[in-house]
Amino acid sequence: MSSIRKLKSGKWQAQIARNGIRKSKSFTAKQEAKDWAAREEHLILNAKPAGETTLLSDAFIKYANEVSPTRRGERWEIIRLRKFSRDELAKKPVASITAKDIAEWRDKRLKEIAPASVRREMELMSAVFTVARTEWGLIGVSPMVDVRRPKTPPARKRRVAPAEFEALALSAGNDLNNTTARAYHAFLFAVETAMRAGEIVGLTWDAIDTKTRVAHLPITKNGLPRDVPLSTEAVRLIEALPMSDPVFGITSRQLDVLWRKLRDRAGVTGLTFHDARHEAITRLAQRVEVLDLARIVGHKNISQLMTYYDATAGEIAERLG
**Residue 106 designated active-site:** no
Contacts from 200-205 at CB under 8 Å and sequence distance 24+?
A: 200/248, 200/255, 201/246, 201/248, 201/250, 201/251, 201/252, 201/255, 202/246, 203/238, 203/246, 203/247, 203/248, 204/245, 204/246, 204/247, 205/245, 205/247
* CB atoms closer than 10 angstroms to residue 196: 19
Catalytic residue among 62, 120, 283, 299: 299
**Residue 196 designated active-site:** yes
**Residue 263 designated active-site:** no
Residue 275 burial (C-beta neighbours within 10 Å; 0-12, 13-18, 19+): buried
The neighbouring-strand residues paired with 23 are 16
Closest CA to 181 of 233, 119, 254, 231: 254
Cα(248)–Cα(179) distance, integer angstroms:
9
**Residue 42 designated active-site:** no
Catalytic residue among 106, 182, 277, 278: 277
* CB atoms closer than 10 angstroms to residue 124: 18
**Residue 221 designated active-site:** yes
Catalytic residue among 196, 226, 263, 278: 196
**Residue 211 designated active-site:** no
Report which DSSP code applies to 154: P
Residues 6 or more apart whose CB falls under 8 angstroms from that of 18 comprise 1, 41, 44, 45
Cα(31)–Cα(103) distance, integer angstroms:
54
Catalytic residue among 221, 236, 253, 260: 221
Cα(132)–Cα(67) distance, integer angstroms:
11
Spatial strand order of the sheet with 226-229 comes to: 208-209, 214-217, 226-229
**Catalytic machinery residues:** 196, 221, 274, 277, 299, 308
